[in-house]
Amino acid sequence: MLRSALSIGLVSATVLLSGAALTGSASAEPGAAPAPPPPGPGHSAPVPADSLRALGDRIGLRIGTAVNTDELGSNAEYTRITAEQFSSVTPENVMKWQLVEPNRGTYDWAAADRLVSFAKKNKQLVRGHTLVWHNQLPTWLSSDGFTTTLSNNEVKAVLKKHIQDQVKHFKGDIWQWDVVNEAFDDDGKPRETIWYKAWGGLGYIADAFRWAHEADPKALLFYNDYNLEFTGPKSNAVYDFVKTLKAQRVPIDGVGFQGHLDTQYGFPDLQNNLQRFADLGLKVAETEVDVRTFTEAAPNVNTPTNPLAVYAQESYWSRALKACLAVRECISFTPWGFGDTYSWIPGWFADPQEGAALLYDADLKPKSQYYVIQQDLALAAGAPRRDGGGPGRP
Ligand code: G3I
């Protein structure tokens, strides 16, 4: 019911975010051919007033998505949705160390630069992901994140150089950086990665934040992890740890709650956790939300085995968003992609098979979960307005 009311009431107004659409041919000579479109996977589409991004804008909440840069520009529908529905973008893979420096000393920023340029054209902010992680490292550094042939001093030197070079390369273009990703295990113990071993403890994290801050003082710097959503050993350990970082005046601005949810588990006490981290004087964000469920075997990996599962998924998406809406310091809500074909879930959770985790189906059609989120945002106009700050904010 509200779904149709929404489309009737809101679809008529279209917010033109792109000045280019208004001015593109204004200066052309009479009879001259129109100027060619700018290079790269540009879009500059009009933003529908009932899009997720337009509805989020009313309360200053950025609605983001992880982006598969192979599809951006080459897949017209994927590109259109990215531009129209989302006001922030996160590179799903192309800012990770393995991709930006596959060979030691030689950077390849091309794919990440294209995404940043797309974001600028479409008035989107960028979440930089991720500077310090134990996964997706180049093989010259480590093939598993826990062992390396480099000495401790070399590990320290390459991490410092990596952070300085990457943050400087994107200086002024990144709203939030995931400076450190997944440094704790589920039992709350520090993960004993090559970073932990080289420093002989968690000292690398404060160094990483300080180096990133020096390289781009205006970027918001985040610690990002999964399973912080519910109160337990991991969430408690990260809470205590970021509290000590704040006490030591380490330049940390926020904590990212990845939000990889699964209908086989109870819904976490997410709002409580967002709020208690916010109460430390931090911003918070939901950074990688998806809601998986049991699905059929290949090739139907995105067909739920239980047709009622969709109701649980709708509920989880709605509650995840509402937890963010209820906490003023929650500045962005980012699903980990849109379009079940591109989700990491079916490949990773294959036995038993899970999938169907995103807001759009394998044909890039919005699912009922999308309309639930849209409705929640439409009803959220009275939620506390948030100020995400950061560079490049339109
Ligand atoms: O690009 C290569 C391709 O050339 C090759 O043929 C193919 C064969 O395996 O691999 C392709 O690379 C894959 C890459 O995704 C791009 O599709 C990697 O194998 C695969 O491991 C990688 O998975 C990514 C995963 O991080 C790695 O841990 C997922 O796309 C990405 O969604 C996922 O994202 C992480 C966040 O960064 C941190 N939080 C958890 C989240 C989910 O795991």
**pLDDT digit string (tens) for 239-261?**
999 999 999 999 999 999 999 99
pLDDT at residue 20 is higher than 50: no
Question: Could you count the other beta carbons within 10 Å of the beta carbon of residue 157?
Answer: 13
Give nearest CA residue, ligand 1 atom 21. Answer: 136
Q: Which atom of ligand 1 is nearest to the CA of 344?
A: 32
Strand partners, 225: 257
pLDDT (mean) for 303-322: 98
Which spans in the chain are helix H?
2-10, 19-23, 52-57, 76-85, 97-100, 110-121, 152-169, 194-199, 203-215, 233-247, 270-278, 309-326, 345-348, 368-378
Residue 236 lies in a domain: yes
Task: Indicate if ligand 1 lies below 6 Å from the C-beta of 258.
Answer: yes
Residue 31: what pLDDT? 39
Residue 40: what pLDDT? 52
Tokens 């960028």 belong to 126
Residue 35 lies in a domain: no
Residue 41: what pLDDT? 63
Give the whole-angstrom CA distance, residue 209 versus residue 202: 12
Residue 43: what pLDDT? 67
174-188, pLDDT tens digit by residue? 999 999 999 999 999
Ligand 1 mean position, distance from CA 240 (Å)? 30
Give nearest CA residue, ligand 1 atom 23. Answer: 344
Q: Which atom of ligand 1 is nearest to the CA of 343?
A: 32
Q: What is the mean pLDDT of the chain?
A: 90
Residue 314 lies in a domain: yes
pLDDT band of residue 28 (cuts 50, 70, 90) is: very low
Q: Which atom of ligand 1 is nearest to the CA of 336?
A: 32
How many domains would you assign to the chain?
Answer: 1
Q: For residue 156, what are the domain limits?
A: 13-28+44-378
pLDDT band of residue 286 (cuts 50, 70, 90) is: very high
What percent of the chain has pLDDT above 70? Answer: 87
Ligand 1 mean position, distance from CA 93 (Å)? 7
Residue 351 lies in a domain: yes
Residue 36 lies in a domain: no
pLDDT at residue 301 is higher than 50: yes
pLDDT band of residue 8 (cuts 50, 70, 90) is: very low
**CATH no. for residue 285?**
3.20.20.80
Residue 263 lies in a domain: yes
pLDDT band of residue 384 (cuts 50, 70, 90) is: confident
Residue 217: what pLDDT? 97
The 8-class DSSP code of residue 204 comes to H
Residue 66: what pLDDT? 98
Task: Indicate if ligand 1 lies below 6 Å from the C-beta of 92.
Answer: yes
The catalytic residues are 182, 288
pLDDT at residue 7 is higher than 50: no
Higher pLDDT, 111 or 36: 111
Which residues have a Cβ under 8 Å from the Cβ of 23 and sit 6 or more positions away?
none
Residue 389: what pLDDT? 65
pLDDT (mean) for 209-214: 98
Task: Indicate if ligand 1 lies below 6 Å from the C-beta of 136.
Answer: yes
pLDDT at residue 35 is higher than 50: no
Minimum mean pLDDT range among 235-239, 369-373, 384-388: 384-388
**Number of helices (H) and strands (E), helices first, in the chain?**
14, 12
Task: Indicate if ligand 1 lies below 6 Å from the C-beta of 344.
Answer: yes
Q: Which atom of ligand 1 is nearest to the CA of 181?
A: 38
Residue 393 lies in a domain: no
Residue 30: what pLDDT? 35
pLDDT band of residue 223 (cuts 50, 70, 90) is: very high
pLDDT at residue 167 is higher than 70: yes
pLDDT at residue 38 is higher than 50: no
Ligand 1 mean position, distance from CA 357 (Å)? 16
Give nearest CA residue, ligand 1 atom 22. Answer: 93
Give the whole-angstrom CA distance, residue 118 versus residue 54: 18
Q: Is 312 helix (H, G, I), strand (E, B) or coil?
A: helix
Residue 2 lies in a domain: no
- Geometric angle at alpha carbon 188, from 185 and 194, rounded to 5°: 45
Ligand 1 mean position, distance from CA 134 (Å)? 13
